Structure 1
């Protein structure tokens, strides 16, 4: 009887080990498009503040910054906004997907199922952006809401997925491992929110830049609107310029999200 239970235990261990190896191989092994490690920073902007982003073209160009703009509700873009996005893309920026209706993936899939989420949120977003002349290859989860199951399915549609990370009480920003890309082929990554309401300071960002420079990693940041309102989901042009100057100070190359692996 003991031998029977021992055999069952060993079989369980083998199955669990195989499942874990399969998962880590899928998400963490060297991706075939992985780039050589370099000290870099990646900055993105979410939602649909197109005119405000466009107004900062000169600032981006001054510091050779290539940003990623994750667009939600693409069907509601005006013709002027589409032309602005095309101009930003010509400048070297990336136009990417943030969902058709900006829904919370976890809540939506729990209520309607994963297939409905793909059919109603992901495919329409991709098709709408393609119809407008863009080719979205990366995706940012609204609210940073994701799971392994959802990730697994969305990686059939995108090269790279971005979740969210925030400043944690009791930790310095350079201790948040998830916001650093190590060029290990991971395709599900996290960005650090740096909007006015995030509590992230320029000193915090410089600490992260220093780590990225010393270890040849890419630090990933994201914000939303660009204005002087001090609203929760906004960042000022002045703060952006200070961030870009700090990136130059630490000799960080600016890359888009797709630039991490393509």
Structure 2
């Protein structure tokens, strides 16, 4: 009996150890469809109206450049319909650009991971999965990223193997995985439907999950249907139909990683959520804690009686059953929902509740005629009219970017103040301001909201001239140009694929006075058409106009 308990303790300890890394276990054979970059419209067109339980994960990069509200609404609709929205870095910078240097892992996290997560959370998304740009990864970067985004995907490619022979892209319940590897469905790799069918059959026969990825999904009539980083919609539908015919399950990326044979289970969702308006600026939430093993609770809110763009506004520690939300707008409807969490595992959401703050007392008049004036590239002066005679002072609030709503108090002034200068701002950023008067715990309504962009004074930079291109041996291209400026910090080189293309992508940057660049990208292919352009830049964010565009056939 003593030996039995020793063995049981060892088994329990091993189970705990395994939980510290992400274990993937297959309960039902299936397929993980993932798509990278920013093609939200194409993804939405293909997946949003499906009714066949197909699931996919979309790893999005350059979130800050997405069009609003169109692309955000497309992603939110996909998420609401059960698809996963993951992170693909801040601006598609790969680990390779950090030279895989283990001493730069935190730099990568600080510039490519944390800002991307913050941008997504500002729009009501809470990513847990990360796809390495260009598949560039190593274990040092895995360890640095995993505390923020625990579910990691990279790419695998072996030109000498059929998909069904690539053990790396399959996983099952017999192993623990720190990262999942996927193979591409893009045209550039030439995978036929027949080859992909054999790969799906292997997953079925071996009780495995296969991970696949792509980029663009074009209708057959599109002129880009056969471009390198695309798959035809008809071909993708064939693949999906084959998988369904084999009885394979479609997993989101997180779902595939979360299958742990019961070792990891999410906490139970909180119940009986209620919201009570306490004043014109405060709401109290109460709920029943239905779980016994949560780390805490995450509180989410959106503004408006029918809003859907929830964002996290606070957390409560384990066993908490109440939360007070302050600094709200008077006489305004808000919706709330909460969920329990333990580490990176989240419960489902509670019910959603709606309440409205009380009207502001009429005894305290709101300030009027708020204006904002840029004094420099880092300073803005606010002026307003003090319409009340009995305030304690004013609360000045600010948020970043046009149309933002997540205001925070940046300054509390005394009574009778009608001016404030906000310093230490970032050049070329848009700021929004609003103010209100207060007396004790009583607040006036808000003033009007003002927007302003602080700009960096700049000296014009002359554009590079006479750009030429020469094809070199080994599928390389050498660019030459005339440096027409004398005040640049350097040059940026851009390229796009196909004759007449306009979707240029950044290739690299060069120091001041450079007059040539060699494109030795391994993706350059004989028979393809490419277009190049160059521009000068300064460190303050100023750019010249582009050079002439040069086109060539490899």
Deviates more, 1:239-248 or 1:105-114: 105-114
Distance 1:34 1:196 in 2: 29
Partner of 1:261: 257
**How much has 1:33 moved relative to structure 2?**
6.6
Instruction: Indicate which of 186, 209, 230 corresponds to 2:177.
Output: 186
Which digits, 9 at most, give the CA deviation of each residue in 1:179-205, with x for residues without a partner?
001133313010111111111111111
Q: Greater RCO between the two (CA within 8 Å, min separation 6)? A: 1
Instruction: Indicate which of 142, 148, 164 corresponds to 2:155.
Output: 164
Partner of 1:143: 134
Distance 1:27 1:240 in 2: 39
If the length of structure 2 is used for normalisation, what is the TM-score?
Answer: 0.41
Partner of 1:67: 56
Distance 2:26 2:104 in 1: 38
- Contact residue 50 and residue 85 of structure 1 kept, 8 A: yes
| 1:162-241 → structure 2 map (5 Å cutoff) | 162-169=153-160, 171-183=161-173, 184-227=175-218, 229-241=225-237
Distance 1:67 1:74 in 2: 19
Change (3 A) 1:134 1:148: same
**How much has 1:158 moved relative to structure 2?**
1.7
**How much has 1:106 moved relative to structure 2?**
2.5
Structure 2, unpaired ranges of 5+: 1-14, 219-223, 259-554
The total of aligned residue pairs comes to 236
- Contact residue 39 and residue 213 of structure 1 kept, 8 A: yes
SS of the counterpart of 1:261? helix
If the length of structure 1 is used for normalisation, what is the TM-score?
Answer: 0.83
**How much has 1:109 moved relative to structure 2?**
5.0
Distance 1:174 1:28 in 2: 28
Distance 1:185 1:43 in 2: 21
**How much has 1:32 moved relative to structure 2?**
7.0
Change (3 A) 1:258 1:218: same
- Contact residue 29 and residue 186 of structure 1 kept, 8 A: no
| 1:33-182 → structure 2 map (5 Å cutoff) | 34-57=24-47, 61-79=50-68, 80-110=70-100, 113-169=104-160, 171-182=161-172
Bigger strand fraction: 2
**How much has 1:165 moved relative to structure 2?**
1.4
Structure 1, unpaired ranges of 5+: 1-24
**How much has 1:168 moved relative to structure 2?**
2.3
Which digits, 9 at most, give the CA deviation of each residue in 1:26-60, with x for residues without a partner?
9977957755532100001100001111111356x
Computing the radius of gyration from Cα coordinates, the structure with the larger value is 2
SS of the counterpart of 2:43? helix
Distance 1:92 1:105 in 2: 30
Distance 1:30 1:185 in 2: 10
SS of the counterpart of 1:41? strand
Q: Give the RMSD, CA atoms, in angstroms.
A: 2.3
Distance 2:112 2:212 in 1: 24
